[in-house]
Chain A
Amino acid sequence: MSAELETVFDLTLTVNGVAHHESVEARRHLADFLREDLGLTGTHIGCEHGVCGACTVLMDGEIVRACLTLAVQCEGRHIETIEGLSDSGRIAGLQEAFRTRNALQCGYCTPGMLIAASALMDIEPAPDRAEIREHISGNYCRCTGYHAIVDAVEAALAARTEGAR
């Protein structure tokens, strides 16, 4: 550990499969780094203190709050944002279910909702509505469209089960 007090760091990390090398201030949180430094504005910022879930991203495959993670703490990590998940087609079924079930109104919470929901689908084969609600309880929808969102996740799970047969 250096005796010098450093406030700016060279950061190397992978975002959506692409290696990035950037200079960042230690005080820059990951959500601002993604939006301001990399131009990946699909990661939204709502409350900036870990309550609303709009900034949810994947770090090494697990959902985290980008506003409660400092960019400098992501040295060597693999970050995936809504842009990466969307472009890869990995959540196409979930996105289609959100469209058909009208599970987005203003759309502000949608990237975080999709990432949180896809993380649930990754770990639980058949969650019930109560489990879906519990899992997305950390993601606020200020349009209060929760019912449709739970419907959409349920529909995506059903479509996946159907497709697997």
Chain B
Amino acid sequence: MKPATFAYARAQSVAEAVAALAAHGDEARLIAGGQSLVAMLNMRLSAPRLLIDINAISGLSEIAVEGDGLRIGALVRYTQALRAPLVARHAPLLTRAIPHIAHAAIRNRGTLGGSVAFADPAAEMPACILALGADIAISGPDGARVVAADDFFLGLYETALGPADMLTGLNLPLHGPDRRVGFAEFARRHGDYAMVGLAATATARGAGLGDVRLAYFSMGPCAVRARGAEQALEAGDLDAAVAALEADLDPTGDIHASRDTKMHLAGVLLRRVAGQLSEQPQ
């Protein structure tokens, strides 16, 4: 299908984009990589009156270490992040996760920021951001603010972004020598959205793990942490962690997998990812 008619404007600055959003409200949408949005426009699942293209805004395509964090601008593409030595060194969870996202042609255009802002429940990036405990930088009519990942994902395609807010970047904590990351997903075919996925981080404490963060995707209306399983893993009890998922997660079945299948696979992934967290070099 073809998109319905819409107007189009190129924002030259974050302030321009925010002003245009404020002026047009729900009738306007921001477009960056467009790899989810244009598909929705083509299928007429979305029919905005105005598309505000943010690709020409300078300063949003950089990856840089700032203070004790890795700053990833809103326009950084998956391929760019995957090739960046700074990401491999300071955010190895992303280097593990990005190859699972769609296909090369889509990774060349799609942005990390766009995926976080869109908050698809089956997408990898929101779960990675949640597992990392990253901060999301937002600009809106009242200025700039930062929202922690734990407070950002609120529901199905629902985030802390207001109608005139723009996500401007992601601030990731720097990977340290004691940090561990894990990532695994089940998809029917390579590049498909996952039936179940898990992104995880932890801190090595002797032979055990602390600060465990387990972020599941495709297991609810948005990326969700499995807090009971996190505590059990910190206590060193993997079987208890798998058992705790029953209370932590409440997925609904879909055409790809029933609820029971998803819960079973969530346990399988937890064992796999727990192995990754324990095996990394000391």
The residues of A with any CB-CB pair to B shorter than 8 Å are: 1-2, 5-7, 9, 25-27, 29, 32, 48-50, 53, 56, 59, 62-65, 67-70, 72-73, 116, 119-120, 133-135, 137-139
Contact = CB atoms under 8 A, between A and B. Distances in A.
A32 B3 CA distance: 12
B8 A138 contact: no
Contacts of B3: 27, 29
A13 B42 CA distance: 23
14 contacts: A5-B9, A7-B6, A25-B5, A26-B51, A50-B38, A50-B39, A62-B108, A63-B108, A64-B105, A68-B34, A70-B34, A72-B8, A133-B190, A138-B104
B10 interface: yes
A29 B158 CA distance: 28
B50 A49 contact: no
A2 B8 CA distance: 10
A27 B51 CA distance: 10
B7, B9, B50, B104 interface centre (most CB from chain A within 10 Å):
B104
A26 B98 CA distance: 30
Given A50-B39, A68-B35, 16 more contacts: A1-B52, A5-B49, A25-B5, A26-B6, A27-B5, A27-B41, A29-B42, A50-B102, A50-B106, A68-B106, A68-B109, A69-B38, A73-B31, A133-B190, A137-B189, A138-B102
Given A48-B42, A50-B35, A65 B8 contact: no
Contacts of A53: 103, 105
Nearest to B8: A26
A43 to B, nearest CB: 13
Given A50-B39, A68-B35, A1 B9 contact: yes
Contacts, number: 105
Contacts of B12: 1
Contacts of B55: 73
B34, B41, B105, B189 interface centre (most CB from chain A within 10 Å):
B105
A46 B79 CA distance: 24
B1 interface: yes
Q: How large is the interface on B (under 10, 10 to 19, 20 to 34, 35 or more residues)?
A: 35 or more
Contact of A116 (B41, B104, B191): B104
A137 B192 CA distance: 9
A49 B6 contact: no
A138 B105 contact: yes
Contacts of B64: none
B8 A67 contact: no
B12, B31, B50, B106 interface centre (most CB from chain A within 10 Å):
B106
Nearest to B105: A63
B7 A73 contact: no
A49 B43 contact: yes
A20 B38 CA distance: 24
B105 A2 contact: no
B131 to A, nearest CB: 24
B39 A9 contact: no
